[in-house]
Amino acid sequence: MTPAPFPAARLRRLRRTRALREMVQEHGLSARDLIWPVFIRDGENVEEPIASLPGVSRLSLDRMLKAAEQAHSLGIPAICLFPYTDQALRTETCEEAWNPDNLTNRAIRALKSELPDMMVMTDIALDPYNANGHDGFVVDGEIVNDQTVEALVKMGLAQAEAGADILGPSDMMDGRIGALRMALEAEGHSDVAILSYAAKFASGFYGPFRDAVGAGARLVGDKATYQINPANREEALACVARDLSEGADMVMVKPGMPYLDICRAVKDRFQCPTFAYQVSGEYAMLMAAAQNGWLDGDKVMLESLIAFKRAGCDGVLSYFAPRVAAALKG
Ligand code: PBG
């Protein structure tokens, strides 16, 4: 649309009242757009705050179920589980990752029996189980690809077996989507969806998450040999194309706020279900500023999330999810 010259066109006419502004609002945010990432741990009746994520705690499964029920009643359709694995169970061979009775798989079963309508998403990567904090096996100082993919497939199958609705491979190994999709088909899990962490960048914004799952202090080196260089856009789009061609149903861009250009490019180029992860560091910086009284917390929370919708995302993983849903209701 080319506006008429001033004064025939005065763009402020439609900003004059709240009703006018709402009539011409282009994008909307609803609880339906949200996936809530939740940290789980062993124990009973435990809620353990995470210092670098104000307002977020590691929850024992009983507390997690209560929180999930609340979130579901606020209209949040999906929860994404991240385990704080007992430190004694972290090894270089990561067997706990595909143990059918590990913390995540027990949580999936509990959720599906108590709240069958809530979608349960999981994370596929070895870092919460790995002695050295990496997403893949480390052999002679290198993160090996193909051996890791075999382990990730076992991990994903165990989660599907436990009842997960959506699998989220976050490891950035090559070939994992195809291998996982074929294995799911072969094992009778053809309805399990894959939301691939397709465009996942080697970011500094994951710091508080690594504290939350207890992998940060263990991490040797960085993840730059498998996650994408933050300077690269074409490479990110190539990763998305590759994952879609291998059988991903939905794709994710991660982190979110510093990568909205990638979200828009993915939606425009592939027209597929597109998600963003507003990661731990993004949440932490908004919360820290709000707690200091430097920003209006609710306002920037809602503004940061509508930005994802404007950038073309169908939904967002956000630690703010229940607070957003409550704010939208109020
Ligand atoms: C691990 C994983 C990470 C996140 C989700 N899955 C961290 C990483 O890659 O180091 C980050 C989420 C967040 O920061 O909120 N595979």
Average pLDDT over residues 176-197: 98
> How far apart are the CA of 44 and the centre of ligand 1, in A?
26
Ligand 1 binding pocket includes 135 (Cβ within 6 Å): yes
pLDDT at 1 over 80: no
Q: What is the DSSP letter of 276?
A: E
Quick one: angle between helices 297-310 and 321-329, nearest 10? 100
Ligand 1 binding pocket includes 63 (Cβ within 6 Å): no
> How far apart are the CA of 207 and the centre of ligand 1, in A?
8
- CA-wise closest residue to 91 among 150, 42, 151, 33: 151
**Residue 65: count of CB within 10 angstroms of its CB:** 17
- CA-wise closest residue to 195 among 128, 268, 256, 276: 276
**The residue to which tokens 């207890």 are assigned:** 214
Residues with Cβ within 8 Å of 282's Cβ and at least 6 positions away in sequence, in order, are 205, 255, 256, 257, 258, 304
Confidence class for position 302, pLDDT limits 50, 70, 90: very high
- Residue whose CA is at the smallest distance from ligand 1 atom 5: 170
Q: What are phi and psi of 316, to 5 degrees?
A: -140, 135
d(Cα 109, Cα 76) in Å, to the nearest integer?
A: 19
- Residue whose CA is at the smallest distance from ligand 1 atom 7: 206
Q: What are phi and psi of 141, to 5 degrees?
A: 80, 0
**Residue 291: count of CB within 10 angstroms of its CB:** 12
> How far apart are the CA of 7 and the centre of ligand 1, in A?
51
Helices (H), the chain: 18-23, 61-73, 103-114, 146-162, 176-186, 207-212, 234-246, 260-270, 280-291, 297-310, 321-329
Average pLDDT over residues 291-300: 98
Instruction: Report pLDDT digits (tens) over 74-102.
Output: 999 999 999 999 999 999 999 999 999 99
Confidence class for position 286, pLDDT limits 50, 70, 90: very high
Catalytic residue set: 200, 254
Instruction: Report pLDDT digits (tens) over 102-128.
Output: 999 999 999 999 999 999 999 999 999
Domains of the chain: 32-329 (3.20.20.70)
